[in-house]
């Protein structure tokens, strides 16, 4: 069983819709990462958070440490948001290793 579970696996939305991607994990962590991967492979770090909530532009990430759950929200979605969104954690380690979910493929139609 993967210790990082993401849902949904695939998500299709119309431009302007509010998007939520969920991530659940089963171990103690120091930090939870949200990553974005576009076709072609490059990965961009969106958020690293260990508590509460962070916001960058139209993206919001929240985490509930007690419930071992995090969500990534995209407000006013746009076709350029189409990508794979990956949740990852460090399992409480400081040794540069991340444990990844399988990703959520988001497609936003104009």
Partner 1 sequence: KAGVTQTPRYLIKTRGQQVTLSCSPISGHRSVSWYQQTPGQGLQFLFEYFSETQRNKGNFPGRFSGRQFSNSRSEMNVSTLELGDSALYLCASSFLAGDDGEQFFGPGTRLTVL
| Comparison of 44 and 76: residue with beta carbon closer to partner 1 | 44
* One residue of 77, 103, 104, 108 binding partner 1 per CB under 8 A: 103
Binding segment for partner 1 among 14-22, 51-59, 68-76, 88-96 (CB under 8 A)? 88-96
**Percentage helix, strand, coil, to 5, in the chain?**
5, 55, 40
97 belongs to the binding site for partner 1 (CB under 8 A): yes
Angle at 18 between CA 73 and CA 14, to 5 degrees: 130
The answer to whether the bond into 8 is cis (omega within 30° of 0) is: yes
Contact positions toward partner 1, by CB under 8 A? 30-31, 33, 35, 40-45, 48, 50, 86, 88, 93-103
């Amino acid at each position: 069983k993967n210790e990082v579970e993401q849902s949904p696996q695939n998500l299709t939305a119309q431009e302007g819709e509010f998007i939520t991607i969920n991530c659940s994990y089963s171990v103690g962590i120091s930090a939870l990462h949200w990553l974005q991967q576009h076709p072609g492979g490059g990965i961009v770090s969106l958020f690293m958070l260990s508590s509460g909530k962070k916001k960058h532009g139209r993206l919001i990430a929240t985490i509930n440490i007690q419930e071992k759950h995090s969500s990534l929200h995209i407000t006013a979605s746009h076709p350029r948001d189409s990508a794979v969104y990956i949740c990852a954690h460090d399992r409480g380690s400081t040794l540069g290793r991340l444990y990844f979910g399988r990703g959520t493929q988001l497609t936003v139609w104009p």
